Amino acid sequence: MSGHPTPSTTDEFLKGLWRENPVFVQVLGMCPTLAVTNTARNALAMGLATLFVLVSSNLVVSALRRFIPKEVRIATFILVIATFVTVVDYVIQAISLDLHKALGAFIALIVVNCVILGRAEAFASKNGIRASVADGLGMGLGFAFALMCLGVVREILGSGTLFGFPVLPGRFQEWVMMILPSGGFFTLAGWLLLFNWRRQRNAVREEAS
Amino acid sequence: MNGEPLGTIFINACLINNFVLAYFLGICPFLGVSGKMETATRMGGAVTFVMLVTSVCAFGIQALLTALDAPYLRLISFIAVIASTVQLVEMFIKKVSPGLFRALGIFLPLITTNCAILGLALFQTNKGYGFVQCLVFALGAGAGFTLALVLMAGLREKLALAAIPDMVRGTALTLALAGFLSLAFMGFAGLGG
């Protein structure tokens, strides 16, 4: 944020999507990223749930930032986040019990997602409400985007389907490993490699020009 | 109450459903602290201790909340207990052994946001374990976390000396390694009951 003297709301929104993407660039919030991305549907649900908690907690923390004593701020942030996560937990249970079973304890574990606490501490506690909501939206969408990247790859390769619909020819042999835990590690490693490669190529080009 | 034998619970939590490699809990410290063998073992010890204390507290809270008929307060009270336990452990270690306190450094307060701890509290409640079962479960999970961390630290110490392309260095390589470890741990699947 130091590089931009007067960042506009749009800038705050866009930086989370790409330049400071929480998963691919900051490598935060790994646990849900790996655990629930075995199908695209779970990944989307998790991304939306995190987006909601992130925006709401950023809004509340930013609105209360003058009243929160510095010494107990982390505990306060966590309690604010836990409240919204409880809300999300019950909402998902009401919408689809199947989905709630598939995501399991990982909905509750949004509380300890370091992306959310990180944004509350690094951004919302220092900035106004509008900028904080924009930041939350951008970071949340960036997180959901990263989750989808993993979920789509793992579901297509692991079960030959996308959102439950078959997309690959019938004789395709599924890579069962991709929906198992190790597949999550490998897929994320692959995406990070792709990003590293891009960054290196851009750096080489800049040097050349 | 769940009638699982204690030995099965321990092996399950430690090897078959290893918190790090099968449930993806506590990945952040797993990636962050596994660079050196020494910090890895210390971190494992600290996490195991906090897990034991949290397990006992979570068991008490669950009983209290069931009595009060207020399950919606579960998440908030669990996280409050974990945060204060970590704070207490921090003050205790600082008072008793300043050397160990300095060695653990920033990793000690960061245990609060370690999802393995909250995950443990939630899993033991979901499974309906009794008091002794909870303790064994916490011990197994802690041992599993330490095992994964130490294995990873050993691998990374060797890798630091190997010639690898720049592009792969860092998180990408660590994640691929974790993938292989996770594959290897799947071999334990037949052990439990």
Q: For B58-98, what is each residue's pLDDT tens digit?
A: 999 988 988 888 888 888 888 888 888 888 878 887 888 78
Q: Write out the DSSP string of B14-65.
A: IIIT-TTTTT--SHHHHHHSTTSHHHHHHHHHHHHHHHHHHHHHHHHHHHHH
Residue B83 lies in a domain: yes
Is B175 contained in some domain? yes
From residue B114, give the alpha-carbon distance in Å to each of A12, A112, A190, B20, B59. 28, 7, 25, 11, 19
Residue B193 has pLDDT above 60, yes or no: no
Count of domains in chain B?
A: 1
End-to-end CA distance of chain A: 27
Confidence category of residue B45, pLDDT binned at 50, 70, 90: confident
pLDDT recorded at residue A2 = 41
Q: In 3D, which of A185, A24, A184 has the Cα closest to residue A115?
A: A24
Classify residue B191: in a domain, yes or no. no
In a domain, B192, yes or no: no
| Closest CA–CA distance from residue B117 to any residue of chain A (Å) | 10
Asked if A40 contacts A163 with a C-beta cutoff of 8 angstroms, the reply is: yes
Residue B48, domain extent:
6-186
Please indicate if any CB of chain A lies within 8 Å of the CB of B79: yes
Nearest to B83 among A75, A182, A193 (CB): A75
**Is B21 part of a structural domain of the chain?**
yes
Listing DSSP states for A189-204 in one string gives HHHHHHHHHHHHHHHH
Evaluate whether residue B75 is within a structural domain.
yes
ipTM for this prediction: 0.83
Q: How far is B29 from chain A (nearest CA, A)?
A: 10
Q: Residues of B with CB below 8 A from A183's CB?
A: 179
Distance between A13 CA and the closest CA of chain B, angstroms: 25
Which residues of chain A have a CB within 8 Å of the CB of B180? 182
Residue B170 zone, left/alpha/beta (φ > 0; ψ -120 to 50; rest)? left
Q: Do the Cβ atoms of B171 and A194 come closer than 8 Å?
A: no
Q: What is the pLDDT of residue B192?
A: 61
Q: What residue has token string 């008072």? A: B95
pLDDT for B4-36, tens place per residue?
A: 888 888 988 888 888 888 888 888 778 877 778
Residue A141 sits at the chain B interface (C-beta within 8 Å): no
Sign of CA dihedral B53, B56, B58, B61: negative
By C-alpha distance, the chain B residue nearest A197 is B167
pLDDT at residue B12 in the model = 86
- List the single residue in A78, A89, A177 with the smallest CB-CB distance to B79: A78
Q: What does the pLDDT read at residue B137? A: 93
B180–A181 C-beta distance less than 8 A: no
Which of B22, B113, B114 is closest, CB to CB, to A181? B22
Rounded average pLDDT per 10-residue block, chain A, 209 residues:
57 80 80 84 92 94 89 84 92 90 86 86 88 92 92 89 82 83 90 87 86
Predicted confidence at residue A3, as pLDDT, reads 41
- Inform me whether the C-beta atom of residue B75 falls under 8 Å from chain A C-beta atoms: yes
Q: Which pTM does this prediction carry?
A: 0.85
